[in-house]
Chains A and B, each alone.
Chain A
């Protein structure tokens, strides 16, 4: 391919055209740099524009996701059909075995509620706002966002936690009418206050960006982390309800270590949006 001659010919008009296009490019570059600076210092600046785009494109993703789920569920459907009798029997046995534990747990829950009422502990909300699918994600970017196909029309509000059946997924950061952008807990800018299940050691679960999660001890007291330590949300900060499973340690360490999230969000599972545990008081008018 031969390269273009520097001048588009003897036509003044064409020469000015080339010059003008470079002037436009320079101006555009300055605008782009400003936009970039704005969106770096205040990531929510252009949320509206981005959500408007998502509003248009999410139906497409939803449709594709629906197709993928449909195809992927065929083998399981066939298996379920044949395995249902055997499973039924096994489950009946399991229910009988669990009944005693359930009764004990029920008693504990009642006692817990009574004691909390005695203490007049402020109760947070843990009820489900909506159950929806995550339909797409920022797969080409180093940020970790996913798009949920439910928005303010379905009652979702900004800041609400999103969990899957197995554990925490993230929280809503941008909101559209029928879509919401979810910051996953593996995003490098996500931070979740957690505690260790075994002894309640407080820690922070920060995303690493490569799909794993970094656990940092809050009080730097040379806290040892063992392989397999499980962490759940602590409820500190008031966004996440306490007790949602977050991550399990995959490398022993002290003070900071690496963990893997309990839930790897995908389009096949449902995501549950919960009420913010302790909502902020309404802004004074």
Chain B
């Protein structure tokens, strides 16, 4: 029986062994954030910010190639299954937000964090407003609460960006 060649131990300059984890990490963390709506509380008004969207925007603005441009279609579908919004709303509006950011990216030479935050704020407000328009009739009294939810979500974006930076620390050490 021929002996199998023994694998050479990895030297200090050899590349890391390839795993699938770094490439799926952004998507998985967005899905985990979408799952936060499973928290054991029965809210009587829109209480939680859209965590999935915050993480998605965080990844997109921190690292361009982290998520392919079609990924919000699938991630949004996953979010729709859990969030109680009509199916297709996050699919549509998350993707539109992604494309809008792409358009801005093509025109801006470089972004700093404040501009990231502004873009994210626009994305969050747009997605939540359109989500409200398709989910509930115009006569519903949710607008004040919706503005509050938008404000809270926009304020939470830096936290999402921090989490993304921490998750991404191997790739882009600060």
Contact = CB atoms under 8 A, between A and B. Distances in A.
Given A24-B70, A139-B37, A50 B132 contact: no
A146 B69 CA distance: 33
A16 interface: no
Contacts of B126: none
Given A3-B111, A32-B92, A49-B81, A212 B42 contact: no
- Size category of the binding interface on chain A: 35 or more
B38 interface: yes
Interface string A250-285: 000000000000001111000000000000000000
B26 to A, nearest CB: 16
Contacts of A143: 84-85, 135-136
B94 to A, nearest CB: 9
B109 A25 contact: no
Given A6-B106, A29-B95, A142 B131 contact: yes
Residue of B39, B91, B111, B137 most packed against chain A (CB within 10 A): B39
A27 to B, nearest CB: 9
13 contacts: A3-B108, A32-B95, A33-B92, A35-B87, A43-B86, A134-B42, A138-B83, A142-B145, A142-B146, A184-B44, A188-B136, A189-B136, A210-B145
B49 to A, nearest CB: 7
Interface in A121-164: 134-146
A15 interface: no
A266 B85 contact: no
A31 B73 CA distance: 10
A135 B48 contact: no
Contact of A136 (B42, B46, B62, B99): B42
Candidate in B44, B65, B106 with the most chain A CB atoms within 10 angstroms? B44
B49 A32 contact: no
Contact of A3 (B37, B46, B99, B110): B110
Interface residues of B, number: 61
A210 B91 contact: no
Contacts of A137: 41-43, 84
A188 B140 contact: yes
B135 A141 contact: yes
Q: Main SS of the interface on chain A? A: mixed
Given A3-B108, A29-B95, 13 more contacts: A1-B111, A24-B70, A35-B87, A36-B92, A40-B134, A49-B81, A65-B40, A137-B43, A138-B83, A140-B46, A142-B135, A142-B136, A143-B136
B82 interface: yes
A189 B108 CA distance: 43
B37 A140 contact: yes
Nearest to B145: A210
A22 B69 contact: yes
Nearest to A261: B44
A36 B134 contact: yes
Interface in B54-87: 61-62, 64-65, 68-70, 73, 76-77, 81-87
B151 interface: no
B46 A142 contact: yes
Given A57-B35, A64-B39, A21 B70 contact: yes
B141 interface: yes
B103 to A, nearest CB: 11
B141 A2 contact: no
Nearest to B146: A142
